[in-house]
A and B are shown apart, each in its own frame.
Chain A
Amino acid sequence: MNSNEEPKVPIDADAEQAVIDEATRVRRAGHSRRTFLFKVALLANGLVGAVMAVPILGYLLGPASKKASAEESWISLGPIAEFPEGETRLATFRNPITTAWDGQTGDVPCWVRRESGTTFQVFAINCAHLGCPVRWFAESKLFLCPCHGGAYYEDGARASGPPERGLFVYEHKLSGDTLMISAGSMPTLAAKATTSPTLTQIAGAAPFSPGAIPKPRCESCQD
């Protein structure tokens, strides 16, 4: 607008004002048009983002959406002759779902207790407290956890310490002379709480329910 002030030639003020108004109107119209287009562009990018989010979230949440039943399958622990009656032995199996780069982590241990004849119990290695590997002590007939001192009796029932329940138990069956268990995912409290049919509570006990959790003998004397 400064350039309009330079020439001292007297011109019609109204005409000058009309020119200015026209220029302003055109500029404003252009601005409003570009603002609108920018909003359209933002909307388009928002849509692209929303569409992109679908595969990204699907990819990220993929592992969580798998059904437990799809990951569990029957695995052989070997002939039952390998498990002497009245003893509890460590057995290992290759997880049914692995990747080529799993290495040793694809091998999973478990405790097999052969009570007598064809009566078995197969316990997960993971402590029901925080998943550390429990060890069997044959003389004192206890499973002990090295992390926080959870202890379980030979039948997997909670004996003492911080666990709020007994050891996790794999479902098992005999196929001829072979001991089979249903396994595939890491046993945790959540895997149990879904009452998946493949993993059951300690044999002989009532099915798992929150009321059935064995209470510690003395809740105030945790030491």
Chain B
Amino acid sequence: MPRLTETAKSVYQWFEDRLGLGKPILDAVEHEVPESTASWWYVFGSAATVLLVMQVMTGVLLGLVYSPSAGHAWASLEFLDHSVTLGWFLRALHGWGSDFMIAIVLIHMAQVFLFGAYKFPRELTWIVGVVCLLLTLGMAFTGQVLRFDQDSYWGLGIGASIVSRVPLIGGALVKLMLGGPIIAGPTLTRFFALHVFIIPGLLIAMVGVHLWMVLRLGINEWPMPGRLVSKTTYTRDYHKLTKETGIAFVPDAAWKDAIFAAAIMLSVMACAFFFGPFGPTGQPDPTIIQTAPKPDVAFLWIYAVLAYLPPSLETPVLFIAPVLGIGAMLLLPLFSPQGEKHWSRRPIAVLMVAVIAVVLGVFTHLGTYTPWSPIMDAWTSDPVPVRYLHNRTPLERQGALVLQNKQCRNCHAVGGSGGLRGPALDGVATRMTEDQIFRQVLQGGGNMPAYGNSLSPAETKALVRFLSTLNTENEPKAIDASRDLVTTLPDSASPARVQ
């Protein structure tokens, strides 16, 4: 046994004499870090790096089978899911790994922001980190395109339509993005090149730079309220913190990173195993239009914002907001490189993180059930509730039929089923008089199309009569006070009579 150890040592030494990498690596892993950083709050960056390694590995493995050809990509995904041993699991790992990576990167970003880690001397580390976030999102979008199904096809259409709004060069940019006049073979191959060569190359390089700077400048110490960052004293103080009271990164601090990374990997594997891979949904055949395309979860909030922007604001917001948002993130450390780091003394920073998290969360949640979209097949199955047909005249019941046939329920719910685009029609009679409903149906308005051309007078009459019966027991119907006044005028001696 001792002889074996001796041999191993001499083999290592043989390589070390020639490579010379062992000592610098050992120095790097054992470098001293402030004792306060051996914390569960400091584990997100390393977990994101571990996830990146897993994404590269699973991505390379998927590349063994995937065919980046518009005519065959979808079939190769089906082949991976059903015919390649554990192909479904590799696809699921890659897909869930992507979602986990975005989540962990965002949490990492919020943590270093709240801990003031972007301040001197780590300004550039933050800026490179922002670039890493953008590249990660770029990987997510291009990866979603490679899952070449209906969502991917129409997602490209949405991308091209956004790009087309760029002033002057929009048309040329669309063709540059699609690689031709339409979404087709050359589109998929260029997104393949982006997803497999260009963006990962940049991302790995940027993560390398990011890590190099963390090693070179040291990890951010746990902030203390009142301990301000000053460019003149920080480096000396930090040196004291690491050299006099510091602990070795490996193993004293890194054990938490390792445990957390293992937990995250187990979570990814569990999600992949229990929930399986994402899609592919229907074939990328544009002639199959029975589809409601939707982006992956990381982009749902953008999808929601695009539904709520007024048409006149849409193009400016699309191109100005990202410049402002990304610009603000990039410039943040240059504008506040010194001062307070602790979150308890930075209320605006805490408020910003909270507001951004709530906004992203709310829009993402809205994106999951798209209340702005008509439900394209709502009229086919859901019956008008029976209670709305009791004690109704034949004309009113005919109106219920018109409501069903004319697909009003694509946008309006009745009895809890139907679209959310327009207001629910239960109780509409308490809000609008018969005349108002007539006007609304025939002329539209307030985001409702006019139905004057698609309803006959008889249909309109029946429909409005039916809608006028929709008030709950305890709420009276809406009345037009002025009409009442006018009709009672001739009988009354006093014009001032008001009911």
Contact = CB atoms under 8 A, between A and B. Distances in A.
Query: A and B: partners?
Result: yes
Contacts of B408: 140
A135 interface: yes
Contacts of B314: 162, 164
B165 A190 contact: yes
Interface string A128-164: 0111111101011110101111010110000111111
A131 B311 contact: no
A18 interface: no
B445 to A, nearest CB: 5
B307 A218 contact: no
A142 B449 contact: yes
B284 interface: yes
Contact of B176 (A63, A133, A144, A148): A63
A105 B185 contact: yes
Contacts of A12: none
Interface string A109-137: 10000000000000001100111111101
Nearest to A72: B181
B157 A146 contact: no
Contacts of B181: 66, 68, 71, 95, 97, 184-186
Interface string B300-344: 000100111111101000000000000000000000000000000
Given A186-B157, A188-B171, A190-B171, A162 B453 contact: no
Contacts of A222: 308-310, 447
A170 to B, nearest CB: 14
B289 A90 contact: yes
A147 B405 contact: no
A159 B444 contact: yes
A189 interface: yes
A191 B453 contact: no
B428 to A, nearest CB: 16
B395 interface: no
Contact of A191 (B164, B176, B180): B164
A2 interface: no
Contacts of A163: 311
Interface in A203-223: 216-223
B29 interface: no
- Chain B CB within 10 Å — which of A68, A104, A106 has the most? A104
B293 A160 contact: no
Given A132-B293, A193-B171, A217-B445, A104 B310 contact: no
Contact of B174 (A102, A140, A190): A190
B475 to A, nearest CB: 23
B249 to A, nearest CB: 41
A107 interface: yes
Nearest to A137: B407
A63 B158 contact: no
Contact of A99 (B165, B186, B447): B186
B171 A194 contact: yes
B311 A130 contact: no
A186 B182 contact: yes
A110 to B, nearest CB: 10
Question: Which of B180, B181, B411, B453 lies at the interface centre, i.e. has the most chain A CB atoms within 10 A of its CB?
Answer: B181
Given A101-B71, A102-B184, A133 B154 contact: yes
B372 to A, nearest CB: 5
B186 A147 contact: no
Contact of A221 (B72, B184, B446): B446
Contacts of A63: 175-176, 178-180, 186
A101 B73 CA distance: 10
A218 B172 contact: no
Interface in B62-104: 69-72
B449 A219 contact: no
Contacts of B373: 146-149
A109 B311 contact: no
A176 interface: no
Contact of A131 (B154, B172, B176, B454): B154
Contact of B70 (A64, A102, A161, A162): A102
Nearest to B150: A133
Contacts of A162: 306-307, 309, 311, 314
A115 to B, nearest CB: 13
B287 interface: yes
A161 B437 CA distance: 20
Contact of A147 (B158, B184, B406): B158
A221 B263 CA distance: 47
Contacts of A109: 286-287, 289
A144 B289 contact: no
Interface in B42-72: 69-72
A95 B184 contact: yes
B454 A146 contact: no
Contacts of B279: none
B1 interface: no
Contacts of A188: 160-161, 164, 170-171, 174
A175 interface: no
Contacts of A48: none
A223 B447 contact: yes
A104 B157 contact: no
Contacts of B69: 101, 103
B213 interface: no
Contacts of A147: 154, 158, 292-293, 303, 307, 373
A108 interface: yes
Contacts of A193: 170-171
B421 A149 contact: yes
Interface of B: 69-72, 153-154, 157-158, 160-162, 164-166, 170-176, 178-187, 283-287, 289-293, 303, 306-312, 314, 372-374, 376, 405-408, 410-411, 421, 444-451, 453-454
Interface of A: 60-61, 63-66, 68, 71, 90, 92, 95, 97-109, 125-126, 129-135, 137, 139-142, 144, 146-149, 151, 153-154, 159-164, 184-186, 188-191, 193-194, 216-223
14 contacts: A97-B181, A102-B71, A104-B284, A104-B285, A105-B185, A105-B187, A106-B182, A125-B289, A146-B376, A160-B447, A160-B449, A164-B311, A189-B164, A190-B164
Given A99-B185, A104-B285, A149-B307, 14 more contacts: A61-B176, A64-B173, A95-B184, A103-B71, A105-B184, A131-B154, A133-B289, A142-B449, A147-B158, A148-B307, A186-B157, A217-B445, A219-B310, A222-B447
User: 9 closest Cβ contacts across the A-B interface?
Assistant: A103-B71, A185-B181, A188-B164, A190-B170, A159-B449, A131-B157, A190-B164, A190-B171, A141-B454
